[in-house]
Structure 1
Amino acid sequence: MVRVVPRSVRTRLVLFFSVGTALVLLACLLVLHEALDRQLHGALANDLSGRYDDLSAAVAAGDLRAVADDPLAQLYRADGTLVTGSRSFRDRRLLTPDQVQAITRQQTISAELPAGIHFTEADVQILAAPAHHYVLAVAARSDVVDNAGGRQLVVLALAAPLLIAGLAAAGWVTVRATLRPVGLLSREAAAISSLDAERRLPAVEGDDEIARLAATLNQMLGRLQVAFARERAFVDDASHELRTPLAVLRGEIELALGALDDRSELEQSLLAAKTQAERLTRLAEDLLMLARDRDGTLALNRQPVDLFDLVRSEAAALGPALDLDISAVGDPVVIDADPSRLRQVFANLAANSAAARATHVRVSVRQSHGDVVLEWADDGLGFSSSLLSSAFERFVRGDTARTETGAGLGLSIVRAIVAAHGGTVSLGNGPPLEGAVVSVHI
């Protein structure tokens, strides 16, 4: 199938520019030709009108020689009889007797001038009108004007292609110079690979659209570099977190295989392997949940939930398990949420408090300006100043938690679940227990 529109943007621009320029130029030339033609015919009409006025005044004064001296004029009686006329006409007439008798007012007549002794056959335009009991006819050659208009049209027809070709060439040069940076940017962008994370496109001088495009693309490459660095760090951290439990699991299995005849040692090795398998399962589930949150596919089983009642029940279950004294204060507040995901939030917050050596936790539930606010406060070591800005990142752990078995995904999961509910999370230190404070707004 033949393409009507060229693939190249440069060719399309030049083509559209040339076609548009040609149409506009042709329209302008036609308007110019029409204007000049009207001007020439207007000059002819003015000449006839001026000569008629002069000769009419001479006839009124009784000077009929003025008509004879005019190059193309004749004077008739009302019945059509020729009184006098230009000497070059002799007995030839501009108007027939019938035409003369039909003249009752000023008229313009086109006629063909017959050949004579002093002139050749030519087209003329005649101005005839009654003049003091006579009919005065004044003529001028119109073929001269027509020929001038024809020559003008020929000149315009010859000049138009040259002008269009010149404008097309100028458009081609202009477009080529304008789009040259685009070709350079395309080649440089094609040469950039994942191994050239720090490579950037060349800067384009000026402040036009192409220069702004180059700057925008460089900014995008910068953001992609940051994203690639985060993904690389995530893979490295995930590999590190998986390596330890896998190594322990492999070692326990080898111990179990070597102690098949010792039931107690075999049982101990299998329990240790089970613990590591559970750790791997939790880590895989956490990573899967974060991946779904990033893709926007984190599923929520929403239903009406009394948040305060859920906090109290989870406090009763988590407190003894983590050796924490968890107290809940507030009023019943019903929200549309996923209770299992909220329990995961409470479990992660409680695990963080326990890792920070807290002994008391105070959880308050209240409503504020249409939002439901859950504040989790403990008396632990709190967040370090360096951790506050990155605590929600994956695999980020505080100094006090580096000996713990957690993978540093707790707060990342908290933020993901709260965000899926349309809420926000903020961190801080201070009252009421002078430790860490986590505020959840839904």
Structure 2
Amino acid sequence: MFGNDAKQRIIRLLAPHNGDEDARVCKDIPDDACHQVPANRRWLILGQLASALAELLVNAKTVLPWLFQAVGAPVWLIGWLVPIRESGSMLPQLLLGAWVRHMPVRKGAWLWGAGLQAGCLVLMALTALLFSGWLAGVLLLGGLALMSLSRGLCSIAAKDVLGKTIPKNGRGRVTGTGASLAGGLGLLFGLMLGWLGELPLWGYVLILLAAAAVWVLGMLCYRRIEEQPGATEGGVNGWRHALHSLQLVRDDADFRRFLLVRTLLLSTALVTPYYVLLAQDHDGAARVLGSLVIAQGLAQFASSWVWGWLADLSSRRVLQLAGAIAALLGLAVWLHLGVLGGTPFAGYFAGVVFVLSLAHAGVRVGRKTYLVDLAGGNRRTDYVAVSNTLMGVLLLLAGALSMLLALLSGLAVILVFSLLALLGVWLAQSLPDVQADAPSEDK
């Protein structure tokens, strides 16, 4: 799967380095932590690998909709999967940030978050075995909500631990290596599903338990990290600060317009489970799920760097292009399956998910790049805090909308979300080109 050059890079990242080499790059971490960098690098990579792999095994866009169908949960509940998964990990970061920053050693917060996620997965596995129908769906959503809140705790702590233990010019390699290794294992997971025929309910239970086991292995690695106690002064309540900063929405017209465009383009993430449900209705074999997992992983791997290069030229155009791709794809599927009564061919939904994942990757890269370049000076943190807070709330409202639409049909959800994405593409035309005209630092 990996070439010789890639293998050598992975070995160099995981293996200890000599002290002299690390001493030369330890410029922004305590001197006492410098000699621990090689071992910490290894444990951090393994911890991040476990985190990314566990999340891939229980992906809210592909795997969990399949599980909900297996337990007989109603379609309108499935529409809540992505909103709860995403909003639950956004909102607690604002509430829990101050608490984590009052901890001298912050890896403990990550361990708590990982342990809670493992426990939630075990409870979800038991729920799938013991219950069915709408009750199973509601209980599974409750477990997902708790797991998402715990994920927010891990996210806060992971950034702090990485910054305290790894020098600045080595952090990207640590994060990138963990994600790449998880991607490779994720492809193996998709191929394994592709070899299977019909996946019984206990198969999904095993996937949930496997994800819990991966989190436990991650905890065993993460606890080996040698983290020096850090400063605990100056903590700010992120939620109160974000609410105070909401005046940005009133005072900054460009930021307000960007938030509206970002809200409309949320549809590129929220619509995925409904394509997955259509695929399962057409063919419920596990090989179909495997093909969807592979398609999603390949799209993210293949497109992110291209979108990043284009976003440096014009992130506004990236938002428009990616949003248009997702919208036109949805309209084409609605027209083919709903209006013309067409029949999906082999690989139809894998291709659809591949294209949609390409588009969603573009929306993610475009919006992140646009927001960073739109903000000026020290206001960047306020922009991000306000944006994430509002998006967390709006995701829940979008979940309510998709629930109502799902009472009609999955194709109705796809049609409405495609039209919303087209509206977002049109409104994005009025956004300033921040790459061409960089905002002033005192904006």
Same fold flag (TM > 0.5): no
Structure with more relative contact order (C-alpha pairs < 8 Å, separation 6 or more): 2
Which one has a larger percent helix, Structure 1 or Structure 2?
A: 2
Decide which structure has the larger Cα Rg and report it. Answer: 1
**What TM-score bracket applies, with the shorter chain setting the length?**
under 0.3
Which one has a larger percent strand, Structure 1 or Structure 2?
A: 1
- Using the size of structure 2 for normalisation, the TM-score is 0.21
